Amino acid sequence: MKLIIAVVQDQDVNRLLERLLDSGIGATKLASTGGFLKEGNTTLLIGVGEEQVDEVIGLIKETCKARKQLVTPLAAVGRSISAFIPRPVEVPVGGATIFVMNVERFEKV
Ligand code: 2BA
């Protein structure tokens, strides 16, 4: 068995959960915060058999879009404003950040 950990944008998560449910795949949704932007995103825990990993990654690719988000550089690194006025810059975010891990043991009791 594998555990897929997928960090996705909030805007995509409901459609992705619907697609997973339609395919009979269970998921747990956790509220999370990106370390760089310090904004909300969503982390899904998805436990599947090894043969379903590619199907899940395919659904994530179809559902989760890359977007651009504005970030003010000094705010992001937490330094005080001194010599210049910070200008927001665009950073690309997503579609999704995906980790696939081996599950040593799985039980529902
Ligand atoms: P954040 O950490 O808020 O990052 C949002 C986006 O900001 C990133 O999009 C990336 O394009 C940019 N970014 C991140 N760190 C940067 C840096 N040091 N310099 C310049 N730009 C930077 P994604 O790469 O698509 O990541 C989206 C979210 O996925 C991240 O939100 C974070 O929550 C998660 N993530 C990404 N890589 C990860 C990793 N190696 N481990 C755990 N979570 C990760």
Give, for ligand 1, the residue of 9, 42, 67, 97 to mutate: max count of ligand atoms closer than 8 Å to Cβ.
97
What is the CA(107)–ligand 1 centre distance, in A? 32
* Amino acid type, 50: E
The answer, yes or no, to whether residue 77 has pLDDT greater than 60, is: no
Q: Which DSSP category does 50 fall into? A: G
pLDDT at 84 over 80: no
User: For ligand 1, atom 4, which residue shows the shortest CA distance?
Assistant: 36
Ligand 1, closest atom to CA 96?
A: 25
Tell me the C-alpha distance between 20 and 12, whole Å.
12
Question: What are 26-66's pLDDT values in tens digits?
Answer: 999 999 999 999 999 999 999 999 999 999 999 999 999 99
Q: How confident is the model at residue 78 (pLDDT cuts 50, 70, 90)?
A: low
